[in-house]
Every structure is written in structure tokens, then in C-alpha cells.
Chain A
Amino acid sequence: GENVEQHPSTLSVQEGDSAVIKCTYSDSASNYFPWYKQELGKGPQLIIDIRSNVGEKKDQRIAVTLNKTAKHFSLHITETQPEDSAVYFCAADSGYALNFGKGTSLLVTP
């Protein structure tokens, strides 16, 4: 089955700096790659996604890049703010459900 690896597991940055989280996947048939943000006590919420026909997608301070050949995709958050502090999960579709990475706990310090 699909295996999604995510790094780093924890990340601490100063407010205003950039944060990058990287994921790799194993199933070459995967073609949908969402990123979720999970705040304490809440369910995961989609923040950005990318499909295999696109190499990069940007939404304000958040961008995602995809390299299908290498089977890796990354989340980039620029100008980080304290409210960006949360756990972030990458995922790849398995055809009928999503397989999630282990998560990155991001801490943005003022």
C-alpha cells in the first residue's frame, strides 16, 4: 500500500521566517496530495492541495510543490505567524482514501 514519509517531526521558527515541510510517497499511481492543519482539539482542516498535473500551487503565504518523478512534495509557509502553530499533515491518495504522514508539529515563536 501507499507509504507517506514526512519530515521533520517538529519544527520551530521565529515569527516572520519561512517553514518548509517535506513528504515522500511510494505509490506512483497517487495523483492527489493535500496538506492538513490540525489545531489542538480539532479535526484536520485542508489548507492547500495539489494534483499531479501541476508542479506548484500558491495561496497567499502557503505554497506546495510536487515532483512526481522523485515522488516528493513540500509545503512552504512564508512570513510565519504565531497562529500558524499547529500540527501539519501531508497525505497522498490511495485511490479511495488518504494515507497520511506522521505529522509535523510547527511552533512559531514571537
Chain B
Amino acid sequence: SAVISQKPSRDICQRGTSLTIQCQVDSQVTMMFWYRQQPGQSLTLIATANQGSEATYESGFVIDKFPISRPNLTFSTLTVSNMSPEDSSIYLCSVDGGGNTEAFFGQGTRLTVV
């Protein structure tokens, strides 16, 4: 299993600013995933982050808007840049055990942009 600590748990931000979300895992993992969950909606994958390489973004998400860092095997950050109210969502980081095993999630960051 994996325990994931995600910070901040919530924030209210002004439009045009940026917020960096941190994700710390209690064990070394190869792949970390960032998801967005808009109000009342499902989880949508933003990008996959592997240590030592650039993140891979899903269709509709770009690096300039959601830059990701992955400096080591236990930590990653997601930045939401130049925020607008449409960015108001819950952002979740996730890891899995590899080979189609259980995925573990952080508690999420609830972002409100005003």
C-alpha cells in the first residue's frame, strides 16, 4: 500500500495567479498521476509523471498551464498557472503498484478561483 500526503488540502486563489500542489508518497514509486475532478464530475487524468523525464499530458492539458515536477521517486508537484474560475476543481495525485494493481489517492486539493 501507499500513503499519499497532498498539500494544500484547499485554497481560494485570485484569478491570474498560480498555485503549486505538492504530493508526497511514503514509498518510492515509478509513476505518479495527476487527476482533476470538477464539481460533481468524474476524475480526468491530467498527466503522468515519471521521475527523470518530462510529464506526459493527456489531450486537452498542456505543460504551460499545468507544469509538473518530479524531482525524485517520492515527490511531485502540479502547478495550476494563470488561474481562472474554470480551474476551480479538486486536484488529486495518485500512484499505483504497477502492473494493474490498486491505485492510491491523496485526499485531494480543493481549489476555488475567484
A interface list, Cβ under 8 A from B: 6, 31-32, 34, 36, 41-46, 49, 51, 89, 93, 96-103
Contact = CB atoms under 8 A, between A and B. Distances in A.
B48 interface: yes
B48 A96 contact: yes
Contacts of B92: 43-44
Given A89-B43, A96-B31, A101-B42, A46 B102 contact: yes
B54 to A, nearest CB: 15
B105 A44 contact: yes
Contacts, number: 48
Given A36-B105, A97-B45, 17 more contacts: A42-B107, A43-B6, A43-B105, A43-B106, A44-B43, A44-B105, A46-B103, A51-B100, A89-B42, A96-B48, A97-B33, A97-B48, A98-B43, A98-B45, A98-B103, A100-B44, A103-B41
Q: Ordered nearest first, which 9 A-B pairs have the shortest CB separation?
A: A43-B105, A32-B100, A102-B42, A100-B43, A100-B42, A43-B107, A46-B102, A43-B108, A44-B105
A15 B31 CA distance: 40
Q: Point out which of A36, A45, A98, A103 has the most chain B C-beta atoms below 10 A from its C-beta.
A: A98
A3 to B, nearest CB: 12
A43 B91 CA distance: 10
Chain B: interface secondary structure? strand
B43 A34 contact: no
A6 B41 CA distance: 12
A94 to B, nearest CB: 9
12 contacts: A6-B42, A32-B100, A34-B103, A43-B4, A43-B108, A44-B92, A51-B100, A98-B43, A98-B103, A99-B45, A101-B42, A102-B41
A93 B100 contact: yes
Interface string B93-108: 0000000111111111
Interface in B60-114: 92, 100-108, 110
B107 A49 contact: no
A93 B92 CA distance: 18
A60 B92 CA distance: 29
